[in-house]
Each structure stands twice: as C-alpha cells, then as structure tokens.
A and B are shown apart, each in its own frame.
Chain A
Amino acid sequence: MAHTKVEQHPATAGRTLVVMVGLGVAFLLFIAFLNVVRSGNLLSESNLLYAALIFYCAGGTLYLGFGITGTPSYVRFASLATWAGLVANTAAVAHRWYEAGHPPFASIYEMLLSFVWTLAALTLVAETKYRVKVIGTVTMPVAIVGVVLMQLLRTEVRPLVPALQSTWLHVHVTLAMLAYAACALSFALALMFLIQDKMKTETFLAATSVFTTAIYAAILTRFEKWGGLSVTAWDPEQKSELFLSKGIRLLLVIPDLGWLMLVVSGAVAAPLALYLLWRKTHNDGHLDLANRAVFVSVLLQVLALVFFILRVRDGHYFSPDADGQFATSLAASPFILSGLISGIFLSLLYLLLLWRRNDLERMLPSVDDLDRITYKTIAIAFPLLTLMIAAGAYWANRTWGSYWSWDPKETWAAITWLVYAAYLHMRITRGWRGRRAAYFAILGFAVVMFTFFGVTYLLPGMHSYA
C-alpha cells in the first residue's frame, strides 16, 4: 500500500532532480574553474572549501529531494555528492593543518572546519551502517550553514598564543567536536523519532514558531531608537571585532534595519498566535491560516537575511558611543547571521514535514529502531563528553595551574554532562523510553549548542580563543 505512491512516479521523473543537481554542480565547478585558471592557484584552502560547499549543497538538495519524494536513487547520488564533499573537506583540513603546523582546532573557524568534517563523516556512517538514509536531510543543511559561516569568518593562519600550544588542547578539542557531532546526530534522530511516534504536526508548528520567535526576539535586543539595528564594528586591518574597552564591543547602528527585523519577528510570531487561537477555538481554519503564515514568514525571513547581508557586508556606519564612522562585516555578526539562517532552515523543515509527512513516515526507520539508535549515539557521546572535560581540565591544570575554575564554558560543559547523565539514569534505571527520552535528547543538544555558541558570545570568560 505504502509503495503505490513511489510506483506512480515515471522512471524519468526520478532522474530529473539528479540531472538538475548534476548540471548545477558541473556549472558551478566550471565557473569556479575559470576563476581558478585566472588566479592560477588550484589547490588553495578556499577553493577546496568552495568545492566542498558545492558538493554538500548538491548532497543536501538530493537528500531533501529524497525526503520529499522518496525516490531511492536520490540517496545514492546524495551520498556520492557527500563523499565528494568530504574528500574536498578532508583536503581543506589537511591543507590548513599543513599551513598552520597544528591541527585545525585553534579558532572558531578551524573548529567549524573540523565540525563540518565530522558531521559529514558521521552522516555517511549512519547511512551505511545503520541505514538511516534520511538523516542527511537534517545534517547536510547544518553542514552547509557551517561552510557558509566559515567563508565569512577569518581564514588566515594565525600564530598560536603560548597557552594554546599543547597536545592536550588538540585532544580536548577533537573530543569536543566528536562529542558535539554525536549529540547533533542524536538530536536529529530524536526529531525523527517524534515524527514516527505520531507527534502531531501542530505541535511541531508550535515548536518551530516558538523557536524562530525566540531567535527574532534575541535579534531585537539590538533594536535601537528610530528603527536602527546595532551590530558589532569590525577592524578590517586586524581582522577582529572592535572593542570600546575590555570586553565591551563597539556597536554601530544600521538605520532602518531594525524596522525590518520587527516586521519579520511579527511574521514569525503570527503562526504561534494563530496556533494558540486554534487551541482555544478548535477552529481548523485558524490552523490552516497558521500554516500559510509559516510559508509567508519563510519568504520574509529570506528577505531579512538578504537585507542583513547587503547592509552589513563591508558597510560603514555611525557609532553613537565612539562618535564616528566605522566599518562592519558579516564576520563581526556571526550570531545574528546564524540565527537568521537557522530560522529559515527550521521553518523549511517544518514545511517539509507539513507537506510530506506520509512519505517521511514511510522512509524513516521504525519507532523502536530510532529510539534505540538515539540511545546508542548518546552512549557514544557521553563518554566522549567525559573525556573532553577531563582533557580540558588536564590542559588547564598544566597551563593555569588549576583544573577547574568554574569559568562559564567549563560550567556549561559540566551542565551538558549532567543533563546527559540525568537522561542515562532515567533511561537505564527507570526505563524511560520513547518521547520523554527524545525530549531529553533534544534538550541535551540545545544545551550543547548553547555551550558551543552561546557561551562564547554571551557570557564572559577564559575561553576567549574560541
């Protein structure tokens, strides 16, 4: 019964996307090749990274295509593209390593490089070993966002300050990347579990809307008088953020961008309001309207992203604090940028679920399998987290003379560990299975993300290197 839908596709329709993506890849590679011929430097890191980006995009598109249509041949080509991307990514990592003389873990750029590599590798492992084919639909877009972010962040090899020259640091960061990638995987699996567990599509609507609204609420904390939006100033010479004084960033006001963000935040909050209204009235018309509002909000979010990129990229704006014009750059606002991108990505995922839920359910592994594999990835992540914290403590002890100093990053790493420890206790001794376990896996990943990004940008501390 479930297979009738696939058979309805004519044999040629299954090839359309593959051919289109293939042509797209060929075109982009050709254009890139022309540029390379002109500059005469084939194997530079940015070229390799660009190649990885093209292949990951192709892989991501095909995975998404698989997610939507369920055409099995897409997955074959998707994993082929991912393999190609992984090769280019590996070459970029090797190039970086060779150039810098140390493993690529010293800056947030290098960590993203390693993180994306791990994520792509784990996706392929999950696909071949556990046969979770659709996982690329979630992980590849994350990898793409990672590569795009990397293009914006600084790329030149910086010498390491004395405190960072230690093998233990590399051990620490490698373990962290592996653990975080495993957590990301468990998060994706938990989401799939919730889909297979017949969680209502409306609940996903509410969750998506709450999340995107939270992103825009966070962005709107930068809202200035008369509709401006303040962003961090950038020093193009030093390739670093500008500081007013120690720990206080110099903020520039981009006029009118705040209004746009305000409008878009209204648009992303609308589905939530309509959802709440539906909960009260049980009028399905409201729900229908909410879903349409999500679609509209995606368009507006893309608009916000485009305008943000256009205005922030290499602009010069006035600073009320330092009296004068200063430059800004996308690299100075990685937080807002990744917020905008993840908002779009999440809404798109929701729409995918809304429109193709039946196909998704058919393709995903069974509830029990997903539950078990989620647990297994956490069983991998937890010892890695433990070792990561231990290696970090050992390194801190050798460098600063103290293995634990309650610095925010340390504290949040411990919090991550405790959250997963609670999950394991509930699962092993109280037999938590299914939804509650999945919620815990999602919560754990949220804490991981906060530890990785949030602590660096929001809280003060010693981990200023990354």
Chain B
Amino acid sequence: MAASLPRKVWQTLGAVKTGVVLLVLVVIMAAAGTIVLQRTTTEADEMQRAYSPQMLAMLDGFGLTDVFHAWWFVLLLGVLSASIIAASIQRFPIAWRFYSRPYKSPDEAFRKALPTHKLIPVKDEEAALSIAERVLRKTGFPAEHIVRQNSFSLFAERNRLSEMAVYFVHASLLLIFLGGIVDAEFGWRAFLSLTRGEQATQVQSQNGGKHQFAFAVRCDSAGQENYSDGTPKRWWSNLSVLKNGHEVLRKQIAVNDPLVYRGLRFYQASYGMNGKLDRLSLRATRRDGGNVKDIAIGVGETVSLDADTTVRLAEFVPDYVVGDGEVYARSSDLVNPAAHLVVQSRKTNLPVNVWLPPIPGVEQNAASPYTFEGKNIQMAYFTGLEVSHEPGQLAVWAGVILMGFGLVMVFYLVHSRIWVVPVHDARGHTQLWIGGAANRNKEAFAQRFDDVTKEVESAIAGFEVGTEESARLLAAM
C-alpha cells in the first residue's frame, strides 16, 4: 500500500533525522543572532555605524537584526515542536505496549535470540526455581511466578519507568516552549522610577503599551549600601501595595529579591539621583545681629524666619552655568549647585532674590535682611524598578523540573529484566534457562547478570550436593 502524501509528511516530521536537521537549523539561526547586531539591544546610530545602508536594509529585510522575534525563527521553533510531538505520537504506542504489558514469559525463539543468557543443569526443578528466586530477591530482583501449563517460571524487573523516560524529556521541552510562547505573546516588561513617597498605578512597557495595575505601588524609602571602597554593595527599597487607599502588603525588595503581587513582579534594578533636591539645610543669620536660625527647606516651600520675614526656595540647580545674565542647568549631577531663595519681609513687601552662591547680575543678596550659609544638600534619590508580567513562567519552571527528572531517568535509570525458565532437552534432562536484558548500560548489566547466575549456580550445586549427602546418610542407616 503506497503511503499517501499527508502520511508521508507525518512520517518525515516524526523522523529523528528531521529533528536533528531542525536542531542544526535552530543552532545556525541562533548563532547568526549573536553575531549580527540586534536591534533590541543596540542603539540605532550604532547599527548605522556598523553596517552600510544597503547591508542594513538587507539584514532588516531578512529579519536578521531581530532574529529571535522574526517570524521564521518562531516558525522554526514551531516546526521543531511539531516534530517532537509527531515523533512522540508515532513511537508512543509501541513504548506504551512495552511498558503496560511487560513480556514475562519468554518463548523458545526469544530464548535462543537473547544474547545474555545461561543454562544451568538441575536435578530438582522446583527446588532449583525456589533457590533461584531466593538469590534474585537477595540481589534486588524480587521475582513473580509466571504459571505455565504444568509448571511455572520466574520474571523479575527493575525500573520499568525508564522505558518512558524520553517522553518525560520531550514533554518538558514542549512545556518550556509553551511557556516561552505565552510570555512572548502576553508578557511585558517595563521600567518604573519612583522617588520617596511617590506611588504609581500604571507603567509604560518597553514596546509602548500602557499597563494599568489593579492596585498602587508606593515607595516608602530606598537606599544604597556601599563597600568601603565606595562601590555599591546593595540597593534596597521599601515598597507598599495599596488597594483603594489601604495598605495590603509591604516588602523590602533588593536586587535578587523581588516583590511579587498579582502576577506582577517588581525588581530592584537601579538606584540613583535624578538631579532633584530633597532638602537643603541652611543657617540664616539676621544682619542686624541676634537672630540665628537653622532651617531645612525643599523646592517651592516657604519657611518663616521671624514674625515678619519668610523665605521660599524658588529654584535649585544641581550643576549651574551662567550665560547672558541667566542661570542654566548643565547636568542633573550634583557638581556645581546653586540655590535661588526669595526673602520677603512684611514691612517692605518686596521680594528679594538671594542666590547661593552669589551670582553677579541676578543676585540681590545685599538687600536681604538675612544672610544664608549652606549647611547640607540632601538630594532626592529614585529607585529604579523593573516590572514584569510573565504569565507563562510557571510552565517554564515546571518544564525545567520535569526535564531534570527526565534526563536523570534517561541516563541513569536502567530497565533491567531477568527471566528464569525451566526447560527440558530432548533426552529429558532439566535445565534452568536464565536470561537477562537491560535497555542501557548493557556492559554493567552483563557483569551483574554474570554475578547473579554464578550465585544461582553455586547455590543449586550446594543444595544438590547437600541432598545427595543426606540421601547417602539415609541409605547408610
């Protein structure tokens, strides 16, 4: 019967050769993805520097600049999965029959063909069988009695599950693929930056989508611990989860220790200054003597210095430059700070601009009833949180664990079987046929089989000598 086309396709898909060819293709494509610069991890201008425009257009056209998300790579993984499934379905029935209906009673053809076997001549069939059974039990092969027409034989086996091991590995691989596909389709990642006291209810993910949380996450505090040489040792943030304004969860997260809530994970990713001021500590001294006051002030806050006078921090520039009579911020690093204070007195009702340090052209420091001295600058710190949603993760980890078990089974679990059958040759002599088979690590099993049969042989010989001895003693009486 000629195979139809779909059947041929199905057979080809399940062939080991197809699987290996697909593996090799995945290897080549993945290697290409590590050699060609990828758009996901490279800046656009760096790509342009590295390749000529025609080259770049060609690479983009083939999807080589984003191999791992290209349709053909996903298709390749899909075909590989289909191949694994096809191979498993095609082989499973045979393996299952082998597993569910173990071959317990070997016929003559099987006995002749089996390479690992031994024949031991015996006198008393039943006694020999029970000796063999005892030896087998002792060596870890508890045997069952297989009843034949008018006698019985023995069958013992270990680790039958080993026959199914490869299906565990393949199933685990499919589970991992499934989880990966779910995450690629429905998962997202986003970066969230919070300063102390700030809270967020949504994030913008890296591919542009907005994601609303069913709750709010607030940063209560964050910090950094350093090694003695000043390099960062640990970053941490105290986060609270709020629902309808109520706090439902509180956790200190650190690098390697995320907050998990409702399928969302918040990771500590970075920590640093964003150029904003938290608090500026100042000492204000009245010009006409007497009144000295220490104050701490944030941007936009107003503090009263005495009954008539107030001061407001109008502006804080972490790194200033002066140009055309104006003050500009050069960077957001705390390099060259300047503070703009506005002092107001009820008597004159005129605002006076005080600059620290005094910047010619804009400062009116001399007109202020107070002089100011900077004591301490406390910058605001932000904590950088990586937010991720990976609904397929569970399948991936389940697959990994299953694969661990599967591989141990594939490599180290040996299905070994031993049969003991009494046979009668043409001249009516009885022999014990002992046969053994293992599905892997055959050399070690052959050694073990040899030990077992030797022990059976010597035990039977010992028994027979013993019975002869007692028979002689009986006769002599």
Closest to B407 in A: A383
The segment out of A18-26, A57-65, A397-405 that lies at the interface is A397-405
- B400 A162 Cβ-Cβ under 8 A: no
- A422 B41 Cβ-Cβ under 8 A: no
- B68 A382 Cβ-Cβ under 8 A: no
B78 within 8 A of A: no
Closest to A160 in B: B233
- A402 B16 Cβ-Cβ under 8 A: no
- B234 A418 Cβ-Cβ under 8 A: no
Taking CB atoms, residues of chain A closer than 8 Å to B393 are 397, 403
In the complex the two chains form, what is the Cα distance from A451 to B258 in whole Å? 29
In the complex the two chains form, what is the Cα distance from A125 to B260 in whole Å? 45
In the complex the two chains form, what is the Cα distance from A284 to B265 in whole Å? 69
Taking CB atoms, residues of chain B closer than 8 Å to A421 are 23
Of the A-B pairs whose beta carbons lie under 8 Å apart in the complex, a sample of 20, sorted by A's number, is A159-B233, A160-B233, A162-B254, A379-B411, A383-B404, A386-B403, A398-B256, A401-B269, A401-B386, A401-B387, A403-B390, A404-B180, A406-B67, A411-B31, A412-B31, A415-B30, A422-B20, A422-B23, A425-B23, A426-B20
A430 within 8 A of B: yes
- B407 A459 Cβ-Cβ under 8 A: no
Given A165-B255, A414-B30, CB of A402 within 8 Å of CB of B403: no
Taking CB atoms, residues of chain A closer than 8 Å to B362 are none
Taking CB atoms, residues of chain B closer than 8 Å to A128 are none
In the complex the two chains form, what is the Cα distance from A421 to B255 in whole Å? 34
- B234 A162 Cβ-Cβ under 8 A: yes
A-binding residues in B (CB < 8 A):
16-17, 19-20, 23-24, 26-27, 30-31, 33-35, 37-38, 40-41, 67-68, 180, 189, 227, 229, 231-235, 254-258, 265, 267-269, 386-388, 390, 393, 396-397, 400, 403-404, 407-408, 411, 443
Other-chain residue from B231, B397, B411 in contact with A382 (beta carbon distance below 8 A): B411
Closest to A163 in B: B255
Closest to B403 in A: A386
A2 within 8 A of B: no
A249 within 8 A of B: no
In the complex the two chains form, what is the Cα distance from A403 to B180 in whole Å? 10
Other-chain residue from A382, A395, A398, A401 in contact with B407 (beta carbon distance below 8 A): A382
Closest to B43 in A: A246
Per-residue CB proximity of A364-398 to B under 8 Å, as 1/0? 00000000100000010011001100100111011
Taking CB atoms, residues of chain B closer than 8 Å to A159 are 227, 229, 231, 233
In the complex the two chains form, what is the Cα distance from A386 to B40 in whole Å? 26
Query: Given A394-B400, A421-B23, 12 more contacts at CB 8 Å?
Result: A162-B234, A162-B268, A382-B411, A383-B404, A400-B267, A401-B258, A411-B31, A411-B34, A415-B27, A429-B16, A455-B34, A459-B34
Taking CB atoms, residues of chain B closer than 8 Å to A415 are 27, 30-31
Other-chain residue from A165, A382, A390, A408 in contact with B256 (beta carbon distance below 8 A): A165
- B396 A403 Cβ-Cβ under 8 A: yes
- Shortest Cβ distance from A185 into chain B, in angstroms? 16
In the complex the two chains form, what is the Cα distance from A394 to B40 in whole Å? 22
Q: List the 7 shortest-distance A-B pairs measured between CB atoms, nearest first.
A: A401-B388, A162-B255, A408-B34, A159-B227, A406-B68, A401-B386, A166-B256
In the complex the two chains form, what is the Cα distance from A421 to B23 in whole Å? 8
In the complex the two chains form, what is the Cα distance from A379 to B413 in whole Å? 12
Classify the interface of chain A: helix, strand, loop or mixed. helix
Taking CB atoms, residues of chain A closer than 8 Å to B34 are 408, 411-412, 455, 459
Closest to A415 in B: B27
- Shortest Cβ distance from B161 into chain A, in angstroms? 17
- Shortest Cβ distance from A94 into chain B, in angstroms? 23
In the complex the two chains form, what is the Cα distance from A390 to B172 in whole Å? 13
Taking CB atoms, residues of chain B closer than 8 Å to A399 are 255-256, 267
- Shortest Cβ distance from A459 into chain B, in angstroms? 5
A1 within 8 A of B: no
- Shortest Cβ distance from B431 into chain A, in angstroms? 32
- B256 A163 Cβ-Cβ under 8 A: yes
Taking CB atoms, residues of chain A closer than 8 Å to B37 are 460
CB within 8 Å: A-B pair count:
109
What is the size category of the interface that chain A forms with chain B? 35 or more
- Shortest Cβ distance from A32 into chain B, in angstroms? 31
- B387 A162 Cβ-Cβ under 8 A: no
- A425 B20 Cβ-Cβ under 8 A: yes
B-binding residues in A (CB < 8 A):
159-163, 165-166, 168, 372, 379, 382-383, 386-387, 390, 393-395, 397-404, 406-408, 411-412, 414-415, 418-419, 421-422, 425-426, 429-430, 455, 459-461
In the complex the two chains form, what is the Cα distance from A425 to B37 in whole Å? 32
- A390 B257 Cβ-Cβ under 8 A: no
Taking CB atoms, residues of chain A closer than 8 Å to B38 are 406
- Shortest Cβ distance from A100 into chain B, in angstroms? 12
Closest to A399 in B: B256
In the complex the two chains form, what is the Cα distance from A166 to B234 in whole Å? 12
Closest to A378 in B: B411
- A383 B408 Cβ-Cβ under 8 A: yes
Given A383-B411, A425-B20, CB of A418 within 8 Å of CB of B26: yes
Taking CB atoms, residues of chain A closer than 8 Å to B235 are 162
Closest to A403 in B: B396
Taking CB atoms, residues of chain A closer than 8 Å to B408 are 383
Taking CB atoms, residues of chain A closer than 8 Å to B400 are 390, 393-394
Closest to B399 in A: A390
- A401 B30 Cβ-Cβ under 8 A: no
Taking CB atoms, residues of chain B closer than 8 Å to A397 are 393
- B41 A402 Cβ-Cβ under 8 A: no
Closest to A416 in B: B27
Taking CB atoms, residues of chain B closer than 8 Å to A386 are 403-404, 407
Other-chain residue from A383, A387, A411, A429 in contact with B33 (beta carbon distance below 8 A): A411
Closest to B17 in A: A430
Other-chain residue from A162, A383, A402, A425 in contact with B232 (beta carbon distance below 8 A): A162
- Shortest Cβ distance from A427 into chain B, in angstroms? 11
Taking CB atoms, residues of chain A closer than 8 Å to B256 are 162-163, 165-166, 168, 395, 398-399
Taking CB atoms, residues of chain B closer than 8 Å to A419 are 27
- Shortest Cβ distance from B400 into chain A, in angstroms? 4
- B30 A161 Cβ-Cβ under 8 A: no
Other-chain residue from A162, A390, A402 in contact with B233 (beta carbon distance below 8 A): A162
In the complex the two chains form, what is the Cα distance from A463 to B238 in whole Å? 28
In the complex the two chains form, what is the Cα distance from A401 to B16 in whole Å? 36
Given A406-B33, A411-B33, A425-B19, CB of A400 within 8 Å of CB of B269: yes
Given A401-B265, A402-B388, A411-B33, CB of A418 within 8 Å of CB of B232: no
